[in-house]
Chain A
Amino acid sequence: MNVLRIGIKTKRKIVDVLYYIGIIIVLIVVLFPFLWMFLTSIKKESDILTIPPKIFFEPTLDNYIFVFERPAPNIINGLMNSLIIVGSVIALTIPISMLAAYGFTRFNVGGGHLQFYILTVRMFPPIAAIVPYFVIFRNLGLLDNHLSIITLNTLFNMPFTIWLVAGFLREIPQDLEEAAMIDGATRFEAFREINLPLIAPALAVAAIFAAIFTWNEFLFAFILTRSEAITVTRIMAGFYTERGILWGPLSAAATLCTVPMFILALIIQKYIVRGLTFGAVR
């Protein structure tokens, strides 16, 4: 009996080790490109394109200095513009989406059809609309302007935010609000006192998602910005020279663009799947 129990325990241990090996292989594959990006960003030019590729080398900050000291528009302009755009997109998307989500869940505006139409924006391939957008913004004199990028990112972040917030609102019993309104509160007061504290986490999560999507957005930035409103992703498309691609500086810029997103991802850890599936998966 005793021998058997030890047998089962050892078997479980062995299976555990096999699982660990599998997981570690997966994690190495997941992390390797990030590691390579960082290593390349601190390599001298002569250490980057070598056979065999170098894992040990003398680190340098030259690439980072290069991207910061490049003549404008450089990465500083890119980071600043991306920050301005992200901030504005959040400031627009969150209140507008919150109101719409409230209208859809509490009054069933449009009987579900309108909310579904908004969802189709998620399927809308931006490339199919970029020609009209380009012509519209050119006629409005908004090429290479923050406003055009802010507007488009707001559009593409709204469906997601509305669905996410609506999902949270549906979980709040309507009786709570009605009770407050019977006690004499206005609808606005009832919303502020009862719903708002409960959906605040959802709004925070949605804001972080909007920040990630907007920060990473490349197509609109590539077509619609040039120097004044250049974003960090558009900056990254600018490392092609007659001498070939500047891999070191490109890796430094990519690292600078990626690290803030890692931090945001870790903050919304628990909600990433729920967010990316529009609340369909908890």
Chain B
Amino acid sequence: MKIKTEKYMPFLLVLPALVIVFGLTLYPLFHALYYSTRNTDLTLNKDDFIDIRNYRTMLNYDPTLSDAWVRSLTFTGGCLAFQIPLGLGIALLMNRPLRGHKIFRAILTLPLVVAPIAIGQIWRMMYHYEFGIIKYITSSVFGTSPNWTADTNWAMVSIVIYDTWQWTPFVALILLAGLQGLPPEPYESATIYGASAFQKFRYITLPKMRPLIGLAAVFRMIDTLKTWDPIWAITWGGPGQATETLSYYLYRIGFRYFWVGYASAVSLVFLYIVIVISTVALKKGAKL
């Protein structure tokens, strides 16, 4: 009896976790696979087998979907383009051993632990096209101001700025940890050979930080592809469809229109692409 439990113990240890993980990931997957072949619509009480027609619609007859793809990629690209350089800049600022650096670091962690639905709605208020403090600041500084979330051309920018506010500290803290682990010797010899501060940054710091920059970028990419809460909190996907990324489009067809069949098909494709992109990025960029 004792030998038996010892033999099966490794599997018993991981069993509860596996039941939860497999149960709650594979079951929805098969569920979605089944409904993706049907025209299920909860409002019209339709539920018939339509083979691969949902997939064909997705590829050929749904311009809203391709627009949503473009918006998702724009959002992810925009976030990375702002957050990585800014994060590196902040990390370099914080790397100087100034008095109070522990407090600075503590303050930097605060945006990371706040619910997007709470602080995002505060940003919605700050972006208000008439009374918002951000509009007030931009128009006092520049003399003129976009209407931020009320303007179809600026709404996506508004969400990118919000995400940059919330997550640049995360990038900065990762890179700061990396900077603090750099060995001092290369810098000392570079100083002896008369290298400028920029040359030291370009030829010592950047190459050594590359893996961590990759890691930070991968984490931000995975999360920005999934982003949903801030879009609900700040724009509801609008104005019009200006900030409707794929994840928000999925919400609209699933829970505003209740097209369960079509939403299942789109979910599957979205899920598959996100997991593939994330896994490749994780293996290439982060080498976990």
Contacts and interface: CB of A to CB of B under 8 A. Distances in A.
Do the two chains bind?
yes
Given A125-B270, A134-B255, A162-B17, 19 more contacts: A33-B123, A36-B125, A99-B13, A99-B16, A103-B14, A106-B10, A109-B14, A123-B222, A125-B247, A125-B274, A128-B270, A131-B35, A132-B29, A151-B24, A218-B232, A237-B232, A250-B125, A251-B125, A281-B177
5 contacts: A53-B136, A107-B9, A187-B6, A269-B109, A276-B219
Contact of B21 (A52, A158, A258, A266): A158
B226 A126 contact: yes
Q: Could you say which interface size class chain A belongs to?
A: 35 or more
Interface in A22-79: 22-23, 26-27, 29-31, 33-34, 36-37, 40, 48-53
A131 B113 contact: no
B250 interface: yes
Nearest to A123: B278
A135 to B, nearest CB: 7
B264 interface: yes
Given A102-B13, A254-B118, A273-B177, A129 B267 contact: yes
B119 A254 contact: yes
B80 interface: no
A154 interface: yes
A127 B110 contact: no
A216 interface: yes
A162 B28 CA distance: 22
Contacts of B170: 273, 276
B239 interface: no
Interface string A233-260: 1001101000001010011011001100
Contacts of B16: 96, 99-100
The winner among B113, B165, B228, B271 for most chain A CB atoms within 10 A is B113
B131 A53 contact: yes
B122 A281 contact: no
Contact of A223 (B20, B173, B255): B255
Which A-B residue pairs are the 3 nearest by beta carbons? Answer: A103-B13, A107-B10, A132-B28
B32 interface: yes
Nearest to B236: A240
A124 B20 contact: no
Interface of A: 16, 19-20, 22-23, 26-27, 29-31, 33-34, 36-37, 40, 48-53, 96-97, 99-100, 102-104, 106-107, 109-110, 114, 117-136, 151-152, 154-155, 158-159, 162, 187, 212, 215-216, 218-219, 222-223, 233, 236-237, 239, 245, 247, 250-251, 253-254, 257-258, 261-262, 264-266, 269, 272-273, 276-278, 280-282
Given A125-B270, A218-B117, A109 B229 contact: no
Given A33-B165, A254-B119, A273-B173, A53 B10 contact: no
B193 interface: no
A216 B115 contact: yes
A136 B170 CA distance: 35
Q: Report, as a range, how many residues of chain B touch the other chain.
A: 35 or more
A122 B28 contact: no
A266 B106 contact: yes
Contacts of A277: 174, 215, 219
A85 to B, nearest CB: 14
A136 B123 CA distance: 35
A266 B271 CA distance: 35
Contacts of A103: 9-11, 13-14
B288 A129 contact: no
B4 interface: no
B203 to A, nearest CB: 21
Interface stretch (B90-98, B146-154, B182-190): B90-98
B96 to A, nearest CB: 5
Given A104-B14, A130-B254, A281 B119 contact: no
A278 B288 CA distance: 10
A107 B6 CA distance: 11
A210 to B, nearest CB: 12
A100 B17 CA distance: 6
Nearest to B89: A22
A19 B118 CA distance: 32
B82 interface: no
Interface in B190-246: 212, 215, 219, 222, 225-226, 228-229, 232
